[in-house]
Amino acid sequence: MLPCSAAFVALLAALPSFVLPAAADSSSKRGLVFTPNQTTRADDAIWVQKPSDLTWYYNYKPEPESGFQDIPQSEFEFVPMLWGAPSSLDDTSFLSTVQSLIADKGINITHVLSFNEPDGPFAYGGSNIEPSDAAQVWVNNIIPLQEMGIRVGLPACTGGPGGLPWLRKFLSECSKLVSTGDNTRNCTYDFVTVHWYGNFEGLASHMGEYSAAFPNKSMWITEYNIDNQDLQTTQAFFNTSADYFDRLDFVERYSYFGAFRSDVSNVGPNGAMLSADGNLTDIGAWYLGRQATGVPPTQGSESWGFRSAVPPASVALISVWFAALLVGI
């Protein structure tokens, strides 16, 4: 039967917005940066409710969230993270933890993330590691995983100017450790990992610097946002950056830093995916591939207003480096 009935044509004319893709359309590249708050653990379930675009997550730790363990790895891939240097550089507990997830728990680990902001100070959630120490930890913990076929991300540096020099030093130190005599070898990796806080032009330029420094490598943007901007600016940044990531083939995955309530956000209230009373904001809903909710980030915060952008002392697991301080917005 031909669909060209008058009724069908009328239906199409009445529903153009169902036919045209939205600015921030759905994407299988999207993941969750999981930053739970002990006082609002009921929010955790929001990120695994259907329908959702989220296909993967990380939690800055080697082990998955107990609350997410019933979800098959093939639907919501857990990506273990090494994060920082152990107190002994010979420690191989990251390696054994990941091996045990695979062998004992039957979790199909196919990717790992390595260091988190090793060029950043602890005070801003960085792991503050010397490139030579990081190289030793990499050789002990990451190379054996690569030999098992696991894909590995280069350390995720801050968006500040120290990132690329840190990575170059790290790679050269790592090469020294794996080279013997005349047999020169390099440490290898499967994708570069990028963090950015600032505007879209800065993000695109930062990604361009990484592409130039590491030609032909896939890229994951594992933390990004425009911090402390008004709602319209923040939403426009969200739409533009998501669209950009979706169109670039070399961008394999991305994860928006914002899976928390606006009243505890250290990127400003408008970057949060949850309102102060725990409902998805427009950005939160768009990121999951749903329709706007119309919930303002400030909903539920009327009684006390927002605190300043000074991060609380307890942000150890939340790795925001205020790139804006260094490069301006």
Which stretches of the chain bind ligand NAG, using CB under 6 A? 22-24, 37, 39, 108, 110, 184-186, 215-216, 232, 235-236, 239, 263-264, 277-279, 286, 292, 312, 314-315
192 φ/ψ sector (left φ>0, alpha ψ -120 to 50, else beta) = beta
Of the pair 88, 314, the CB lying nearest ligand NAG is at 314
Which letter does DSSP use for residue 274 in this model? B
Inter-residue contact 321 to 197 (CB < 8 Å): yes
Please identify, using beta-carbon distances, which residue of 91 and 306 lies nearer to ligand NAG: 306
- Which burial class, exposed, middle or buried, applies to 16 when counting CB atoms under 10 A from its CB (0-12, 13-18, 19+)? exposed
Residue listed under structure tokens 């329709």 = 291
Residues found in the chain: 329
Minimal distance, residue 4 CB to ligand NAG, in Å:
30
How many Cβ atoms from other residues are within 10 Å of residue 180's Cβ?
A: 8
Closest to ligand NAG by CB, 9 or 22: 22
Burial of 61 (0-12, 13-18, 19+ CB in 10 A): middle
Residue closer to ligand NAG by CB (options 40, 96) is 40
The CA distance from 245 to 268, in Å, is: 23
The region, left, alpha or beta by phi > 0 then psi within -120 to 50, assigned to residue 52 is beta
Nearer to ligand NAG by Cβ, of 82 and 259: the residue is 259
Provide the edge-to-edge strand list for the sheet that holds 151-152.
Answer: 81-83, 111-115, 151-152
| DSSP class of 124 | G
The least CB distance from residue 71 to ligand NAG, in Å, is 15
Nearer to ligand NAG, 128 or 293 (CB): 293
CA-wise closest residue to 287 among 18, 56, 30: 30
Minimum CB distance to ligand NAG smaller for 89 or for 236: 236
